[in-house]
Structure formats: C-alpha cells, structure tokens
Chains A and B, each alone.
Chain A
Amino acid sequence: MNIEKELKNIILSQDQTIDTDDFINNMHAERKRRFAKKIGFLNGVSAAVFLTIFGFASMSQLTDDFAVYASNDLQPLEVMDSETEAYVYDIASYLVDTSDDIWETIIFLDEIQYEPVIAMNNRGVE
C-alpha cells in the first residue's frame, strides 16, 4: 500500500471553493460577537472585583463598640418629663423673681399657659 499516493489521491479529491465575501462578512460578525462576549465577561469580573473590595472595605470599617451606632444614655420617659417640668418650673420662678414688672411676667406666663406659676401667683395674692 503506497501511503503517500493514497493520501495524495484523497487530498486532491477534496478540493472545494468558498465564497470569500460571505466568509469575510461571517468572520467579522463572529469576531464582533466574541469581542462583545469578552467585554461582557470582563465587565462582570470588574464588577465582582469592585463589589468584593468595596464590601470588604465597608466591613473592615465596622467596630465592636455598639455605642458608635446607637445612644446608650437614654432615660425612661417618666424621668424625662419630671426633669423637664422641674426645669421649666425653675425658669418660671427665676423670671418672676428677677423681673422688674412682675405683672408683665405673669401675663407672659399666662400667655404660654404655664399653670403652676399662675396658681402660685394666685396663692400669693390670696
């Protein structure tokens, strides 16, 4: 069996032609498709890398001290109300004591409807 001759005969029988214009159009379309696919892949990888770095950087900023994120010196509402009332009462007494014209101060307190001072004043009048 003459291998070289056999191969040559078979090879010669394989000659075919191809439409070059179609080939070129198909080739550029395929090249663009592959390029778009590659860009899509690279964008995906870049986004994943960015999110990983950003997420890691964000996580590393967190601290174990919860006081950074929330106030821990809150008081019960009742305590706050009584403290506020005492403070306003002191202010009212101070205004009454230090005013040149006590009646103007009383009218002011009446306008803001501060009952304890009015009552105190009334008791004093009686």
Chain B
Amino acid sequence: MRTDEELIKEFQNGSEEAFNELVKRHLPDTYGFFIKFTSDPIEAEDLAQDVFIKMYKALKKFRFQSKFKTYLYRANINMSNTYFKRNKWRNLLHLDQAPEPVYMDTSNEDEWKRNELWNAVSKLPSRQRMVVTMRISDEMPYKDIAKVMGISENSAKVNYHHAVKALKDQLEN
C-alpha cells in the first residue's frame, strides 16, 4: 500500500488517480469531522468538498514539511472556523428563518442539545474553539493538538479547560 507521501508525489507528477486515492483514504475522517458540526449531510459534504478542492491546488506545491494528515487536519479546522463565522453572521442577520419551537419535541432532544452546544462552541474564542473541537470531536491527545496548532502542550490544556468552563457558564445561563 502506497503511503500518503508517495501518493502526493505521484499526484505532483500528474496522476489524478493518486489524488483520488488520497481522497478515498481520508474522506471518511474529513466527512465525519464536518458532520459532527453540522449534522447536515449536504452541508458536511459541501465543506469536505471545499477542503479537498483546496487540497487539489495546495498539494501541487506541498513540500513535505509536515505529515499530510496534520496538513489536512489544519485545513479542516480552518474550514470549520469559516463555517462558524458564516453561521454567526447568518444567526445575527436572522437568515435562518426557522421559527422558535413553542414546545420541546423529545424525539428531537439530541438535535436541540447539539444545536445549543455547537452554538455555544461557536461563541468561544478561536483558539479555544479549535482545541475543544479537536479534543472532543476527534479525541485527539493534547500533544497532537499542540502540534497541529503550533502551540505548547500546556497551552492546549489551558485553552481546553477555559473552553469547557466557558461552555458550562454559557449553557447554565
């Protein structure tokens, strides 16, 4: 089985099939990452598509200074930040026209909780948001989070604890 780096080199030499192989290999993780944010398969697919289209351009100049998985993960995090910002504006401008439910439908309890939580996550400062996303959604160790974000392990831990405290405060209020 070819490694990611070998596939990237083949892609840089003009093999589109190598790129498709990379997509096949990493799509489940990437799509899974976005579906956790959105719970909307179409929106998650669009976000994953945007990430891989950016990868198609970026990998032609990839210099192998980091692992592809880390590189892709950073792209996912950046895309999720864009998604959060876009949704923040959407909420501010009331573009989501769905009326507030008068009663809470228990069959949609998870959906409601998820919305509340991700809404609270979206209000976190960017660094805390990224740490909490990686930690909870992908159960990444602090060491890997620190590597992806280019910060120290302790800084990642502190950010995570601040984020969890802020989420608790927001939801309890």
User: Which A residues lie at the B interface, using CB under 8 A?
Assistant: 1, 3-4, 6-8, 10-11, 13-18, 20, 23-24, 26-27, 30-31, 34
Contact = CB atoms under 8 A, between A and B. Distances in A.
Nearest to B25: A20
Given A15-B35, A16-B31, 20 more contacts: A1-B171, A6-B113, A6-B117, A7-B136, A10-B113, A10-B117, A14-B32, A14-B114, A15-B32, A16-B44, A18-B28, A18-B31, A18-B45, A23-B23, A23-B45, A23-B48, A24-B23, A24-B24, A26-B45, A31-B56
B123 interface: no
Given A3-B168, A4-B136, A34 B35 contact: no
Contacts of A17: 28
A13 B32 CA distance: 11
Contact of A14 (B23, B24, B36): B36
Nearest to A11: B36
Contacts of B31: 16, 18, 23
Interface string B27-44: 110011001100101001
Main secondary structure of the interface of B (DSSP, over half): helix
Interface in B43-81: 44-45, 48-49, 52-53, 56
Contact of B39 (A7, A8, A14, A20): A14
Nearest to A18: B31
Contact of A27 (B23, B28, B35, B114): B23
Contacts of A15: 32, 35
B172 interface: yes
Interface string B139-173: 00000000000000000000000001001100110
